[in-house]
A and B are shown apart, each in its own frame.
Chain A
């Protein structure tokens, strides 16, 4: 283990079951549920309960999905009632639970309520807006789609954004406003808003990364956006005006592509902007504490401190996804998914 860091990552559980590479995990924002998706075309659901000062995770359900190719991406609606899946078969699936409500998870069955077609090639990422009324998806076909969620699992296409010149890897919604960000193989990040009298449009392009931008994470309060890239850096973009973002910090600490980042509230108090966790092709997990510079300081540079790190988090495998648990009281809980098909849950604990 690396030395002299204030925290370390403690393995809570190692969840096996996917037959192929696990691509992504998603914590249900309301209930104690963790979902994972895989190249084996299935989604696995786990619940967790406190047990002897720790947490006990149990596999409660597998959704075979019916996607004909890899399930690449997952997203829970803010209500926690709906799960969206994005697949290499180019479609987005919308899933809801039938029967077996609260407490009787095992009796629940998950059904495909609708299938959103439109992408021409692999769907790479899906995301719900903070209100749950909008769903975004992106694809190698270079487009980003915005869907409006209607009652009864009906969806209306609100926009098809053709701004990127390459594969779009990730979409992420602002935590409170209707601002959408997308990251691409074309090395750029684009930001979009709705013009109520017309269509969605791109109002800003963030450039600076020197290779594919794999992932995006908004800070919990939304005044910063983090991006991770194949150029082995993480950039943090600060909102300097309503529609203007500027790069405020660059972090290094990985030796191969940084496939995933997640920005949680953390447990270091209000002065902190939260904890930023990253992982990637080098199999390493890094956790940074990000803070705004003191009032007196003139510089724009954010202060950052690596507070925990762990190599070979999934043994020799790449780690594809990392995510902080969004539920109150679980701010120190992280989940990761790896090429070994396993899902691991970690707790950030003070070092001895």
Chain B
């Protein structure tokens, strides 16, 4: 098995699986020269011990007696992630070939070949890690020890590993980038509410969902928020904002992000996040939580061992506020940040009611005016491919795109937090697998989990009972969710004293966000900028859009006859 534990196909359950074969043809760079005998194609493909493919002409009368059996090495398929974005062959990235271009090996290779800082061609290596990845690591470490390890402690240990062992110069978590994404996202929502764009607005942070919508439901694209995901905001922050404070150009920084999801690799590869001027991407390489864990194991790093000062509350020297908690969901609280903003903007007090639709992966949130009872806001969180289908269906129907007439009542959502994975981002395809009880795989991976989970237990056992399915381990997802919220109630329902500290942290984050906005957008009226939402002149607004928003485009399918899979 050539794949490392972090990259086995069973791990690639980003929940929207490829359904057709990849149509990207293999380009042959060196046309093989060949003398073919009449009649049968008498060649076969052999694979040598190194895994290379050879074509061998095997039999038949040899035209030239001195010619020995000819072998020629075949080109291996090279498929870039960009090819995948342009193709409708598979719905998401979940194909092993795609992953080699953005892998932990790639990261190690880069670090190894990076010239020393004294060299002009040295690049500053920066790593950003998603809070869901930290939670996955925390849950995994905690399950093996008597006391729970906090996300803060994990962040310190990851920072120690990445700087001391791997040679990264800076390691951040992505929550400040998410803070900006939430501010911009709220801004966009109010724009749409004013009539500048369509409602309901649908979340834009899940790359699996974006990819699926572009390939299968282009009619959804106008509804999807244009705000960049936290990963891509982080890219802008690191390459444009931090870079300029360091005196580095974007191409002088190598930015790696650690994400709970394979599809984030696709997201980082999008043309929209490529800087033509400096020929560089905002995020150069994306690795999953599992790949980070694998690197630690390969380097002999034990994440369960504490590092110095890991309980220090906050690193003052960090460029960003760390581990900002955004109360709501462990997938980024996009819905809850809007609920908070709508509540804050309302002159009258509002009441929130929550209704679970079948499972916790589909919940409706309704805000009503406490005095008049008037409906002010209706939103939903909606996770998993199945629920996503229902959102697509309902939004499409309301927008009048649906053929037929069914008379179902208006869904009437203002906003839907859509995520492709059941359980949301904490259950992303790139996360660590459930912590292992002894009976499982030594490496800590339940590699054959899907098989054993789906099939009946040993027939000699009670055949009348069947083992659980299927999408992922729900219990484990709960553990990761718990680690994500750590000391906070899960999820925090209303502001309590514990959250006071969080609130002041959020305020400092707001102030820094404002600074970032002013630094990057250069509004003419700097003094008039009191918060993220403050209006700016046209030029600055257009810069804001370039920096913090993106765009989507429908991918057409099956237009080349030779490539059609039937």
Which of B390, B455, B459, B466 interacts with A156 by CB under 8 Å? B390
| Proximity string of chain B (433-462) to chain A, C-beta cutoff 8 Å, 1 when within and 0 when not | 000000000000000000000111001000
- A330 interface contact, C-beta 8 A: no
Interface size on A, residues (CB 8 A): 39
- A106 interface contact, C-beta 8 A: no
Q: A153 and B404: CB pair below 8 A?
A: yes
Q: B386 and A159: CB pair below 8 A?
A: yes
- B32 interface contact, C-beta 8 A: no
Compute the total of residue contacts between A and B using a CB distance below 8 Å.
98
In the docked arrangement, what's the CA distance between A113 and B403, Å?
Answer: 8
Task: Choose, from A43-51, A114-122, A220-228, A309-317, the stretch at the interface.
Answer: A114-122
Q: B466 and A150: CB pair below 8 A?
A: no
- B470 interface contact, C-beta 8 A: yes
Distance (whole angstroms) from the CB of B314 to the closest CB of chain A: 40
Measured between beta carbons, the chain B residues less than 8 angstroms from A197 are: 359
In the docked arrangement, what's the CA distance between A142 and B565, Å?
Answer: 13
- A94 interface contact, C-beta 8 A: yes
State whether A152 and B406 are in contact (beta carbons under 8 Å apart), knowing that A202-B469, A203-B466, A243-B464 are contacts in the complex.
Answer: yes
Distance (whole angstroms) from the CB of B234 to the closest CB of chain A: 32
In the docked arrangement, what's the CA distance between A203 and B389, Å?
Answer: 23
Q: B20 and A121: CB pair below 8 A?
A: yes
| Proximity string of chain A (173-209) to chain B, C-beta cutoff 8 Å, 1 when within and 0 when not | 0000000000000000000000101110111110000
In the docked arrangement, what's the CA distance between A157 and B463, Å?
Answer: 30
Q: B408 and A152: CB pair below 8 A?
A: yes
State whether A198 and B464 are in contact (beta carbons under 8 Å apart), knowing that A112-B403, A112-B404, A141-B20 are contacts in the complex.
Answer: no
Q: A157 and B386: CB pair below 8 A?
A: yes
Q: A244 and B463: CB pair below 8 A?
A: yes
In the docked arrangement, what's the CA distance between A155 and B406, Å?
Answer: 9
State whether A120 and B20 are in contact (beta carbons under 8 Å apart), knowing that A112-B403, A157-B390 are contacts in the complex.
Answer: yes
A205 to chain B: closest residue by CB: B455
- B345 interface contact, C-beta 8 A: no
Q: A199 and B471: CB pair below 8 A?
A: yes
Distance (whole angstroms) from the CB of B534 to the closest CB of chain A: 43
Q: A198 and B20: CB pair below 8 A?
A: no
Which of B396, B402, B455, B469 interacts with A199 by CB under 8 Å? B469
B407 to chain A: closest residue by CB: A152
Measured between beta carbons, the chain A residues less than 8 angstroms from B465 are: 243
Distance (whole angstroms) from the CB of B443 to the closest CB of chain A: 26
Measured between beta carbons, the chain B residues less than 8 angstroms from A117 are: 393, 396
Distance (whole angstroms) from the CB of A242 to the closest CB of chain B: 5
Distance (whole angstroms) from the CB of A239 to the closest CB of chain B: 11
Q: A120 and B466: CB pair below 8 A?
A: no
Interface residues of B in 360-408 (CB under 8 A from A): 384-387, 389-390, 393, 396, 402-408
B91 to chain A: closest residue by CB: A120
- A160 interface contact, C-beta 8 A: yes
Distance (whole angstroms) from the CB of A45 to the closest CB of chain B: 19
Measured between beta carbons, the chain B residues less than 8 angstroms from A163 are: 454
Q: A118 and B389: CB pair below 8 A?
A: yes
State whether A204 and B408 are in contact (beta carbons under 8 Å apart), knowing that A120-B20, A198-B471, A199-B386 are contacts in the complex.
Answer: no
- B147 interface contact, C-beta 8 A: no
Measured between beta carbons, the chain B residues less than 8 angstroms from A244 are: 456, 459, 463
Measured between beta carbons, the chain A residues less than 8 angstroms from B464 are: 241-243
Distance (whole angstroms) from the CB of A325 to the closest CB of chain B: 30
B465 to chain A: closest residue by CB: A243
Measured between beta carbons, the chain A residues less than 8 angstroms from B408 are: 150, 152, 154
Q: A160 and B386: CB pair below 8 A?
A: yes
A121 to chain B: closest residue by CB: B20
In the docked arrangement, what's the CA distance between A281 and B393, Å?
Answer: 38
In the docked arrangement, what's the CA distance between A163 and B216, Å?
Answer: 20
In the docked arrangement, what's the CA distance between A121 and B406, Å?
Answer: 24
B357 to chain A: closest residue by CB: A156
In the docked arrangement, what's the CA distance between A199 and B393, Å?
Answer: 19
In the docked arrangement, what's the CA distance between A319 and B384, Å?
Answer: 41
In the docked arrangement, what's the CA distance between A94 and B422, Å?
Answer: 29
- A306 interface contact, C-beta 8 A: no
In the docked arrangement, what's the CA distance between A202 and B453, Å?
Answer: 10
Distance (whole angstroms) from the CB of A174 to the closest CB of chain B: 15
- A55 interface contact, C-beta 8 A: no
Measured between beta carbons, the chain A residues less than 8 angstroms from B471 are: 198-199
- B19 interface contact, C-beta 8 A: yes
12 residue pairs bridging A and B, Cβ less than 8 Å apart: A94-B404, A112-B403, A115-B404, A120-B20, A142-B19, A153-B406, A198-B470, A199-B469, A199-B471, A205-B454, A242-B463, A244-B463
**Besides the known contacts A117-B396, A120-B19, 13 further A-B residue pairs in the complex with CB atoms under 8 A apart:** A114-B405, A120-B20, A120-B216, A121-B19, A141-B19, A157-B386, A157-B389, A160-B385, A160-B389, A195-B470, A199-B471, A201-B454, A203-B469
Closest 5 CB pairs of A and B: A201-B469, A114-B404, A241-B463, A154-B408, A201-B470
